[in-house]
Amino acid sequence: MPALTDAGYIRAVLGKHGFHFSKGLGQNFLINPSVCPRMAEACDLDKDSAALEIGPGFGVLTKELAERAGKVVALEVDERLPAVLAETLADYDNVELVMQDVLKADLPALLNEKCGGKKVAVCANLPYYITSPVIMCLLEQRLPVSCITVMVQKEAAQRLCAKPGTRECGAVSLAVQYYAEAETLFSVSRGSFMPAPNVDSAVIRLVPKTELPLSGDTERRLFALIKAAFGKRRKTLQNALQDTGLSREQVTAMLEACDVPVTARAEQLTLEQFIELAKAYPEA
């Protein structure tokens, strides 16, 4: 079988199945032969482990995962793709295609049912229109996965992996930092895709933390504080944090209790400082 990154082969198979790329589903398929092996290698898979892929498309990354893992569970929504995948992945009997929207699927139950007991790594060239919701959905559910290796738009990668004090750092950066260790692995040019998008991409890896510093109401307050602070990022925290329902005096007392200047702005605070503020948040 020709390589799944061969543009001529892709056109032939897709033509045979009457397939046209859907912009709405974020369909930019990888055709650079070096990218998928590098992504699959980053997942640290072996035959005792499993991979969860989101959006197998034509199967180019799926194939690399299937060669390394004992099992691959691939979630897809495009009803035209099972026929294509039956052809392109005919040589692999360890791939199970599940026709479900990743944002609507019961992922904990799915992993338990399909990969019960196995170490699971998530790997995907994510559809760009749902990058942050998918990543937050994976992290917030605290899925029992060893790592999440995903291709995202370069700007999204910069935001997701941004360090405090940088221009790119926002609410999503701190949320990712709270749940995981995040790093950018490598950049991928727009010419690596068919059709080519208007932006470059990057592969990032998130390793979920096994223990989190907060839970329950204090954790909810942390995210309310982060949302309020970055919702008005040009304002001082003394002003912005009143959006969490506190009076000016209560905000001042909370900031002072944590040694945070009332004139500080959201992007000047580390995650640890937001955690201290959440702990000092006045009880109702």
The residue within the footprint of ligand SAM, chosen from 10, 13, 29, 203 (CB under 6 A), is 29
Our finding on whether 127 is near ligand SAM (CB under 6 A) is yes
The residue within the footprint of ligand SAM, chosen from 10, 50, 52, 58 (CB under 6 A), is 58
The token duo for 218 is 């204090």
**Which helix (H) or strand (E) segment is 150 a member of?**
strand 147-153
Our finding on whether 88 is near ligand SAM (CB under 6 A) is no
User: Is residue 182 within 8 Å of 204, Cβ to Cβ?
Assistant: yes
Nearest residue (CB) to ligand SAM, 75 versus 120: 75
What is the distance, to the nearest Å, from the Cα of residue 258 to the centroid of all Cα atoms in its chain? 32
Binding piece for ligand SAM, criterion CB under 6 A, among 12-20, 100-108, 112-120, 229-237: 100-108
The residue within the footprint of ligand SAM, chosen from 17, 21, 26, 92 (CB under 6 A), is 26
Nearest residue (CB) to ligand SAM, 77 versus 207: 77
Looking from the CA of 113 toward its CB, the CA atoms found within 13 Å total: 9
Our finding on whether 101 is near ligand SAM (CB under 6 A) is yes
Our finding on whether 64 is near ligand SAM (CB under 6 A) is no
DSSP 9-55: HHHHHHHHTT----TTTT--EE--TTHHHHHHHHT---TTEEEEEE-
Our finding on whether 30 is near ligand SAM (CB under 6 A) is yes
- The nearest distance, CB 111 to ligand SAM, in angstroms, is 15
Closest among 131, 158, 151, 163 to 202, alpha carbons compared: 151
Question: Can you tell me the distance from the alpha carbon of 7 to that of 239, in angstroms, rounded to the nearest whole number?
Answer: 55
User: Is residue 13 within 8 Å of 38, Cβ to Cβ?
Assistant: no
Our finding on whether 55 is near ligand SAM (CB under 6 A) is yes
Nearest residue (CB) to ligand SAM, 120 versus 269: 120
The residue within the footprint of ligand SAM, chosen from 6, 67, 70, 77 (CB under 6 A), is 77
Question: Can you tell me the distance from the alpha carbon of 45 to that of 108, in angstroms, rounded to the nearest whole number?
Answer: 20
Our finding on whether 78 is near ligand SAM (CB under 6 A) is yes
Q: Which residue of this chain has its Cβ atom nearest to ligand SAM in the complex?
A: 55
Nearest residue (CB) to ligand SAM, 45 versus 169: 45
User: Is residue 29 within 8 Å of 10, Cβ to Cβ?
Assistant: yes
Our finding on whether 152 is near ligand SAM (CB under 6 A) is no
Question: Can you tell me the distance from the alpha carbon of 72 to that of 53, in angstroms, rounded to the nearest whole number?
Answer: 7
Q: Which residues bind ligand SAM (CB under 6 A)?
A: 25-30, 54-58, 60-61, 75-78, 101-103, 125, 127, 130
